[in-house]
Amino acid sequence: MFTETVDSGSSITTGSVSEPHALLLLRRACNRGYAIEPQRTGGAVIRWRRIDPATRARVVRSITLTPRVPADPSDYDLANLRVIASVPAVRLVDSERYTMPVIAAGSYEIPPSQADRLLAQGFLLNGDNEHLRLTLSARLSLVAAKHQRMESSDRTTAWCSCGLAAHAKNAEQADARQAAHLAAVGADFVQSLDAAFTAAATSV
């Protein structure tokens, strides 16, 4: 579940949307060429430009999707999510080492305290009473963490944690190149969501 905040320029409205509807909004934005910026906290910002009828100027409009469950993933949380994303089956199971259930991701075992953190932040969902799956929030958080802007004294270069170093004539152009990079990342992310995840998300 997400909180949807729509900034139309003249007004700001909020409402609640489900995971399937949030996925629909992202796909629609991708198809229309809108910029999608995943957030480490599990949400996303969709931005697009349009002509203001009154001023004829190009203005920015946006939709912000914020998870209803607060999320602030640590680097350890993200490492666990990457492991979960890399295996075909993930389950919450009893363990001989602990009194509480653990997450079994292939041969990797996530202890109860870490499992509770992931579940509490809305990163995992019990899809069929046996297997766990990553939620849309978890996937957005992972891609955002991979593409964090790196602060630098050189304001004429856009640095990204993925290794991108885009040089520009000035700080404004560097910001534009960083924004274009993130928009491309967002589009690639939406297009990469496979049919299995889409089917699981829309069956909620």
Render pLDDT for 92-125 as a digit per residue (tens, 0 to 9): 888 888 889 899 998 899 999 999 999 999 999 9
Phi-psi region of 8 (alpha: psi -120 to 50; beta: other; left: phi over 0): alpha
Q: In b/e form, how buried is each residue of 33-65, taking b as 16+ CB within 10 angstroms? A: ebbbbbbbbbbbbbbeeeeeeeeeeeeeebbbb
Last residue of some domain: 134, 165, 184? Answer: 134
Q: Say which amino acid occupies 159.
A: W
Q: What is the mean pLDDT of the chain?
A: 90
Given a cut of 90, whether residue 166 has pLDDT beyond it is no
Confidence band for 56, pLDDT divided at 50, 70 and 90: confident
Note whether 55 and 86 are same-domain residues: no
Q: Residue 84 belongs to what domain range?
A: 75-134
* φ and ψ of 61, to 5 deg: -120, 160
Note whether 128 and 172 are same-domain residues: no
Last residue of some domain: 23, 40, 67? Answer: 67
Query: Which has more pLDDT, 129 or 45?
Result: 45
Given a cut of 90, whether residue 7 has pLDDT beyond it is yes
Q: Taking residues 14-32, report their average pLDDT.
A: 95
**Those residues with Cβ within 8 angstroms of residue 83's Cβ, 6 or more apart along the chain or in another chain:** 105, 106, 108, 110
State the DSSP code for 33.
T
Quote the pLDDT of residue 119. Answer: 93
Decide: pTM greater than 0.85.
yes
- Asked if 44 and 30 touch (Cβ cutoff 8 Å), the reply is no
Note whether 151 and 112 are same-domain residues: no
- Asked if 62 and 183 touch (Cβ cutoff 8 Å), the reply is no
Given a cut of 80, whether residue 201 has pLDDT beyond it is no
Bridge partners of 133, per DSSP, are 125
Given a cut of 80, whether residue 128 has pLDDT beyond it is no
Q: Taking residues 157-185, report their average pLDDT.
A: 90
Note whether 44 and 88 are same-domain residues: no
Number of domains in the chain: 3
Last residue of some domain: 67, 83, 117? Answer: 67
Note whether 109 and 126 are same-domain residues: yes
